[in-house]
Structure 1
Amino acid sequence: MISTTIIQDLIIYFARFVPVRVRKEMLKQPQNARFAGYEEVKADILNVSEVQALPDFDSFVVSVNNKLVSDRVKNSRNFMLFIEYGDIKVLTANGVTRNEVGLSVSVACELNEANNDMLNEAMKMQRGLELMQLILMDMQEESKNCGVLEFATSPVQVMPLDPSLFFGHGGWAASFIRKQTVI
């Protein structure tokens, strides 16, 4: 059985790294076009503590819609947090069911050749790597403290984002499997 809130749980979890003002900006669906349960999940997203929020982020995207991702990336001026999900597996062994979801967590910023020299780019890439490290450390700590959920299972691969493939933005993408025991 696949967890019925698997994608919502991802959004709520990663919202902790983004300031509330950015979360509010991403939740603009008109009242008459909202899917059932929208208000409840929106409240959960907005109520996530800002203790771990990283002020560098001015955009937060969790989507498989290339147009939406493109628009958000192009409008981001500082750093953005982009979560991509897919490849959901359901595994059952010894009466225990586990969901596994392939995830990619990206931290990116604009790398414009017109206003960016080598040193500035290197400094942006370094800051992006620092932000990624903070997120990965939190995910690993969460995995240690929670018996039914594992984030950032080994191996975690962190690779640079190619600006030519990511709408002029560069940074880092970490890919891994998220495992959750379904009770």
Structure 2
Amino acid sequence: MKTLITYSSRYGTSEKVARLLADRLPGDVHVQDVVERPDVDWAGVDHVIVGSSIRMGKIQDEMTAWLHINESELLKRPLGLYLCAGTPTAAERKRELEAAYRDALRAHAYFVEVVGSGYDFERMGFLDKAIVRMMAKQTVSSLNLDEAMLDELVESAQASLRTRSENP
């Protein structure tokens, strides 16, 4: 069983989550940045997890395009969807998830949730730093992952893998 974890990450938080998930999942796990490497050989992929960061209320354009191009392949496989976003309320998280992932993908996925947030000031430009300082009240780099959500994603992925191996 091969699991593909794809992500887009402007400042590294979604990438960190993708690598944490890869360390926690069994079997052959491949991690891929869709901005740097958008092409996928779907022939060997049994399971997919997609993650992205939110900036100014939306995911990166490259991820949006990748999801559109690969939607039919994603709908053929067990799918987990996560976002890294600093949204404090459930209503904001729901709005961002709905904006990031189309209805068909969300309906198909076994997991759709925000798993945390982070700000890497070393990778940010001046304007982004100013926005984060003002909006998020952050002045230093941080990584705030929701361990319970990460555990839930891993457990859901493992259950999906077990079900798929029992019913090929």
Same fold (TM over 0.5): no
When normalised by structure 2's length, the TM-score is 0.33
Structure with more of its chain in strand, by fraction: 1
Structure with more of its chain in helix, by fraction: 2
Instruction: Please identify the structure whose Cα radius of gyration is greater.
Output: 1
When normalised by structure 1's length, the TM-score is 0.31
